[in-house]
Chain A
Amino acid sequence: MSRALPAGPPGLSVARRVEVTDIRDALHAEWTKLRTVGGSAWLLAGTIAATVAVSAAATAAARCPSGTACPVDTTKLSLTGIEFGQAVVAILAVLVISGEYSTGMIRITLAAMPRRSAVLAAKAVLVAGLVLAAGAVAIGGSVLAGRVILPGHGFTAARGFPVLSLADGPTLRAAAGSVLYLALIALLSLGIATMVRDAAVATGVVLGLLYLSPVILSVVNDPVWSHRFERYAPMNAGLTIQDTIGLRSLPISPWGGLGVLAAWAAAALLAGGLVMRWRDA
Chain B
Amino acid sequence: MTAGTVAPYQPDQQTGRDGFAPLLRAEWTKFRTVRGWVIGTVVAVLVMFGLGLFAAGASSSSCQSTSGGPVRTGQGCVTIPPVGPGGEAVSDSFYFVRQPLAGNGSITVRITSLTGLLPPANGNVPGGPNAPIDTRPGLVPWAKAGVIIKDGTAPGSAYAAMMVTSAHGVRMQDDYTGDTAGQPGAVSPASPRWLRLTRSGDTITGYDSADGTHWTLVGAVHLAGLPSTVQAGLFAASPAYQAITEGFGGGENGLVGPSQDTAVFDHLGRSGSWPAGAWTGEYAGAADGSGIGGYHQASGRFTVTGSGDIAPVVPGQAGDAGTTVTQHLIGTFAGLIVVIVVATMFITAEYRRGLIRVTLAASPRRGRMLAAKAIVIGAVSFVAGLAAAAAAVIFGAQLAHARGSYVYPVPWPTELRMVVGTAALIAVAAVLAVALGTMLRRSAAAVSLVIVAIVLPYILGAASILPVGAADWLLRITPAAAFAIQQATPQYSQLTAIYSPNSGYFPLAPWAGFAVLCGYAALALGLAVVLLRRRDA
Contact = CB atoms under 8 A, between A and B. Distances in A.
Interface residues of B, number: 47
Contacts of A57: 470
Given A95-B444, A215-B455, A216-B51, A204 B245 contact: no
B59 interface: yes
A208 B460 contact: no
Contacts of A201: 341, 345
Please indicate which of the listed interface residues A61, A84, A200, A201 has the most CB atoms of chain B within 10 Å of its own CB: A200
B338 interface: yes
Interface in B30-71: 51, 54-55, 58-60
B460 A204 contact: no
B334 interface: yes
A216 B448 contact: no
B442 interface: yes
Given A62-B248, A76-B465, A80-B460, A215 B333 contact: yes
A70 B252 CA distance: 12
B19 interface: no
A76 B467 CA distance: 13
A98 interface: yes
Interface in A212-238: 212, 214-222, 225
Given A200-B341, A200-B344, A204-B341, A218 B502 contact: yes
Contact of A61 (B247, B352, B467): B467
Contact of B465 (A80, A211, A212): A80
A203 interface: yes
Contact of B58 (A87, A214, A222): A222
Classify chain A: how many residues form its interface, as a range.
35 or more
B198 to A, nearest CB: 47
Contacts of A222: 58-60
Given A211-B459, A219-B330, A91 B245 contact: no
Contacts of B51: 212, 216
Given A83-B456, A211-B333, A218 B463 contact: yes
A214 B459 contact: yes
A203 B443 contact: yes
A133 B322 CA distance: 47
Nearest to A201: B341
A122 interface: no
B463 A217 contact: yes
A264 B68 CA distance: 46
A58 B466 contact: yes
A201 B451 CA distance: 12
B402 interface: no
A218 B249 CA distance: 11
Interface in A189-212: 198-204, 207-208, 211-212
A221 B340 CA distance: 28
A221 B348 CA distance: 40
A219 B59 contact: yes
A251 to B, nearest CB: 15
Interface string B73-97: 0000000000000000000000000
A88 B524 CA distance: 20
B530 interface: no
A90 interface: yes
B177 interface: no
A39 B440 CA distance: 12
A68 interface: yes
A63 interface: yes
B458 interface: yes
Nearest to B437: A200
B447 interface: yes
Contact of B341 (A71, A203, A219): A203
A201 B465 CA distance: 29
B470 A61 contact: yes
B445 interface: yes
Contacts of B466: 58, 61-62, 80
B464 interface: yes
A225 B330 CA distance: 15
Contacts of A77: 465
A14 interface: no
B484 interface: no
B443 A219 contact: no
A200 B449 CA distance: 11
Contact of A220 (B55, B340, B459): B55
B459 A91 contact: no
Nearest to A209: B337
A58 B470 contact: yes
B327 interface: yes
Contact of A200 (B345, B455, B473): B345
Contacts of B333: 211-212, 215
Contact of A87 (B248, B446, B448, B473): B448
Contact of A218 (B337, B340, B444, B462): B462
Contact of A68 (B245, B327, B446, B465): B245
Given A199-B444, A203-B443, A204-B338, A211 B60 contact: no
Nearest to A70: B248
B456 A84 contact: yes
Contacts of A39: 442
Given A199-B443, A199-B444, A219-B55, A204 B340 contact: yes
B469 interface: yes
A94 interface: yes
A274 interface: no
B469 A61 contact: yes
Contacts of B502: 218
A198 B36 CA distance: 11
Contact of B455 (A90, A94, A211): A211
A199 B459 CA distance: 24
A221 B59 contact: yes
A102 interface: yes
B459 A200 contact: no
B323 interface: yes
Given A215-B330, A221-B323, A62 B448 contact: no
Please indicate which of the listed interface residues A72, A95, A208 has the most CB atoms of chain B within 10 Å of its own CB: A208
B416 interface: no
Contact of A63 (B323, B458, B467): B467
Contacts of A84: 452, 456
Contacts of B247: 71
A200 B443 contact: yes
B467 A225 contact: no
23 contacts: A58-B465, A58-B470, A63-B469, A71-B247, A77-B465, A83-B460, A84-B456, A88-B448, A91-B448, A95-B442, A199-B447, A200-B447, A203-B443, A204-B341, A207-B447, A207-B451, A207-B455, A212-B51, A214-B459, A214-B464, A215-B333, A216-B54, A218-B462
Given A61-B466, A80-B466, 18 more contacts: A61-B473, A63-B469, A76-B465, A83-B456, A87-B456, A91-B445, A94-B444, A95-B444, A200-B348, A203-B447, A203-B451, A204-B337, A207-B452, A215-B463, A218-B462, A219-B330, A220-B55, A221-B323
